[in-house]
Structure 1
Amino acid sequence: MNIEELLRAEICAVGASLFARGYTVGSAGNISARLEDGWLITPTDACLGRLKPEEIAKVSKDGTWVSGNKPSKTLELHRQVYDRNPSVNGVVHTHSTALVALTLNGVWSNDDILPPLTPYQVMKVGHIPLIAYQRPGSPDVAAQVAQWALRVRGVMLERLGPVVWESSVSKASFALEELEETAKLWMMSNPKPAPLQEHAIEELRSVFSAKW
């Protein structure tokens, strides 16, 4: 298998795993991967649990649809991340329940939707800012995400869900899952737990090069 075939297979495997465990439902969410001559992205209104490698859209570097089914309407958002951060090779977006519920109930802050609660949240996810609600596929949202592409691993779209990017599709999905599980912990806790203390976060920076 060549690199493109491997990436198509990885997108399908990650999509099926996320769908099977309830991180996305119906035809919600999308996944993309960088290629040397553009990128791959899941089709519009496709179920992540039933993706077929040959149906995944291929798009050129200038955003032109090359092959496969029609690309997701969030195409421009993915493109902005790839254009601005050369270290990114995979982007995952879901409508994860706990994270969407968090935006409905009120996030911790607009710059950090969750406080630093667990070491793996700090190490594997980091700061996740809130992007105020606009319709799915809005070019204004893509422009706002572009401003964060080099500074964080992802953003939270109000009422829609997380968009997370990493050096691979699989790593992006791992970070997204960690973020969703942290949201579950926060939502189910009453009273709310205190954030990790600064000395604990500094130790994670020192030992594991955590970016918080």
Structure 2
Amino acid sequence: MTPHDLAEAGAHLASLGLSPGSSGNLSIREGDRVLITPTGADLAAIDANALTVLALDGTHLDGPRPSKEFPLHTAFYRRDPATRAVIHLHSRHAAAQSCRPPWSAHSALPPLTPYFVMRVGQTPLLPYAPPGDAQQAADLERLPFPFKAALLQNHGPVTSGPTLEAAVAAAVELEETSALLLTLGELPARVLTREEAGAMAEKYGMPWSG
């Protein structure tokens, strides 16, 4: 993954309408450094030559001032060494879903489709905190069960992955699943059984506790 890959991913997410205005931030990990979009960056027009460079502990090493959400990014990298990309968006349906009660203690969303389990996995809802809150990031880092995505209450989604492509796919699938749930509203809906979701999670190496 390169800075140009990050810029292309931002443009792709913006083209899908998942990053209104200057909202959202992306990062990739290079060894013991994190390259993240600077504060106020428009994901549709990321300058690959003007990214912020951070240490894994969040120390600002080079480049412009980082997005205020950088603690979330570095928390994901520290809790799982396999993580190489993190995406935080304010996508409409996932943000709306973050305002609703969670489906379970381990996932804000149920296993509505196999693709949600395959590409996102269990997605805990983190209690509300102001944007950029370091304590919220610390709480995320200490959660005692595996996950690769989370919803920030009354805020929006954050996804991660071993590749930038995986993190992007998770962000898109999380938005789509949220849209499906909001479309269903109070209508009765079948979700995958514990066995069905567990089998999908095991096959694709995704976290799912049911």
Instruction: Please give the TM-score of this superposition, normalised by the length of structure 1.
Output: 0.90
Equivalent in 8, 11, 35 of residue 16 of structure 1: 11
| Residue 148 of structure 1, CA deviation | 3.5
**Given the alignment of the two structures, is residue 57 of structure 1 paired with residue 52 of structure 2, yes or no?**
yes
2:192 match: 196
What RMSD, in angstroms, separates the aligned Cα atoms of the two structures?
Answer: 1.9
1:132 match: 127
1:141 match: 136
Helix, strand or coil: the match of 1:104?
coil
Give the fraction of aligned pairs with identical amino acids, expressed as a percent: 33
| Residue 110 of structure 1, CA deviation | 4.4
Equivalent in 81, 87, 104 of residue 82 of structure 2: 87
2:164 match: 169
- Post-superposition Cα deviations, 1:163-183, rounded to whole Å, max 9, x if no partner, equal 111102221111111111011
**Given the alignment of the two structures, is residue 45 of structure 1 paired with residue 37 of structure 2, yes or no?**
no
1:211 match: 207
Change (3 A) 1:25 1:122: same
Change (3 A) 1:52 1:142: same
Change (3 A) 1:208 1:8: closer
| Residue 192 of structure 1, CA deviation | 3.5
Distance 1:100 1:205 in 2: 24
5+ residue gaps in structure 2?
none
Distance 2:182 2:67 in 1: 30
5+ residue gaps in structure 1?
1-5
Aligned length: 207
More deviation, 191-200/24-33: 191-200
Q: Which has the higher helix share?
A: 1
